[in-house]
Amino acid sequence: MTEKDFISNPSFQILDSGKVTWESPSNIALVKYWGKKKNQIPENPSISFTLETCKTITSLSFIKKDSTEGFSFDVFLDKVKKDDFKPKIQTFFERVEMYLPFLKRYHFVIETKNTFPHSSGIASSASGMSALALCLMSIEKQLNSEITNDYFNKKASFLARLGSGSACRSIEGPLVVWGKTDSIEVSSDLFGMKYPYKIHNHFKNFQDTILLVDKGEKQVSSTIGHNLMHHHPYAKIRFQQAHENLEKLKNILETGHLEAFIALIESEALTLHAMMMTSMPYFILMKPNTLEIINKIWQFRQETSLPISFTLDAGANVHVLYPEKDATKILEFIKNELVAYCENGHYICDKIGFGAKQLTM
Ligand code: PMV
């Protein structure tokens, strides 16, 4: 598919008003996306677990307006008007306008809330942008009933990508691939798609306990971080490594080889942060407690041989990943040994999920 496949014809028939609601999850990458080209095209392929608990619920109300000049919308977070969210949504609307010809014909009210605490250091851009893209697709579907489910999901992911790259991996679950790579035949740079191959039982219901080490705003935005990969001395080899890791992961996901899984995802997490530390300007998003937790996990794993592992996002929080069958022992360890390193002792128990859900038409 190409960008052209997502351009829809302006509809003659237009609804007067309506409201749609979607809930859309966050996701955590196993092979990381870090570095992008123009139009939010990734420099390398990535794959993520879709989460179940951390999600955004967005309602989009639309009412026909008289003029077709400019975009018209208001945004509310937890019922509070958020004019500071408007520039990001304005940019998103500008990027997707050519694919959604009805955008300028409506005034929109966007009402959104997250299931995770507002300042938790958990980025809401993946769940937020995917929820908004899905709401827009629901309007498009009301204007064109011929849209298939497959096209709906692909275009929702395509649109979400233009809002925030990793958001394109938040439409479906439990595992989503984004970025063209030889080992996954149908993969695309334009949208995320459900991982199409066999997944071993070990990974079903995989657990993710998110340790909130630092609940503050990130000091360096991911946009700046991605851009620093442009002249990065290790960029080329890193992008190549992501292709190789996806190929390796395909085999691991099929065989359920947990030791190999742990080595691969921890290396990916540390490589992401190594790219940040070796860019110019360089920066560090991990905090001392991030390292304390990593060391405790390694020590516990060595002592117990339990398949506990970690991954990191672009921040200080630690995602602790483990199979459901070992959840009791590992959760006890987390509570006894790791929670002390979290800001105000806060953590979130999440697990692998199955994607976004429409709540109202
Ligand atoms: O979607 P963005 O532009 O915020 O980028 C996020 C990138 C990472 O979260 C660090 C990695 C990933 O693949 O999700």
All structural domains of the chain with their residue ranges = 1-361
**Residues paired with 349 in a beta bridge:** 209
**Per-residue pLDDT at 12:** 65
User: How far is ligand 1, taken at its centre, from the CA of residue 67, in Å?
Assistant: 37
Does residue 24 contact residue 171 with C-beta atoms inside 8 Å?
yes
Q: Specify the range with the lowest mean pLDDT, choosing from 3-12, 52-61, 70-79, 175-184.
A: 3-12
Q: Ligand 1, from 27, 28, 30, 32: best to mutate by most atoms within 8 Å of Cβ?
A: 32
**Per-residue pLDDT at 219:** 80
User: How far is ligand 1, taken at its centre, from the CA of residue 129, in Å?
Assistant: 13
CB-based contacts of 321, cutoff 8 Å, min separation 6? 49, 206, 207, 208, 265, 308, 309, 310, 311
pLDDT 10s digits, 23-42: 999 999 999 999 999 999 99
pLDDT (mean) for 282-295: 97
Any atom of ligand 1 within 6 Å of the Cβ of 268? no
pLDDT confidence tier of residue 73, bands split at 50, 70 and 90: very high
Any atom of ligand 1 within 6 Å of the Cβ of 33? yes
Q: Ligand 1, from 177, 313, 317, 318: best to mutate by most atoms within 8 Å of Cβ?
A: 313
Any atom of ligand 1 within 6 Å of the Cβ of 6? no
Residue for token pair 């191959």:
197
CA-CA distance, 354 to 175, in Å (whole number)?
8
Rg of the chain taking only CA atoms, in angstroms: 20
Residue 141: Cβ within 10 Å count: 19
Q: Is the pLDDT of residue 119 over 70?
A: no
User: How far is ligand 1, taken at its centre, from the CA of residue 106, in Å?
Assistant: 31
Q: Is the pLDDT of residue 361 over 80?
A: no
Q: Is the pLDDT of residue 123 over 90?
A: no
Q: Is the pLDDT of residue 177 over 70?
A: yes
**Per-residue pLDDT at 130:** 98
pLDDT confidence tier of residue 271, bands split at 50, 70 and 90: very high
**Per-residue pLDDT at 122:** 77
Does residue 272 contact residue 34 with C-beta atoms inside 8 Å?
yes
User: How far is ligand 1, taken at its centre, from the CA of residue 304, in Å?
Assistant: 32
User: How far is ligand 1, taken at its centre, from the CA of residue 324, in Å?
Assistant: 26
For the chain, what percent of residues have pLDDT higher than 90? 91
CB-based contacts of 304, cutoff 8 Å, min separation 6? 329
Structure tokens, 218: 């990130």
pLDDT (mean) for 66-73: 93
Does residue 325 contact residue 200 with C-beta atoms inside 8 Å?
no
Residue 167: Cβ within 10 Å count: 32
pLDDT (mean) for 237-249: 98
Q: Ligand 1, from 24, 208, 222: best to mutate by most atoms within 8 Å of Cβ?
A: 222
pTM over 0.95: yes
**Per-residue pLDDT at 216:** 79
pLDDT 10s digits, 3-12: 999 998 877 6
pLDDT 10s digits, 302-350: 999 999 999 999 999 999 999 999 999 999 999 999 999 999 999 999 9
Please tell us whether the domain made up of 1-361 is placed in CATH 3.30.230.10: yes
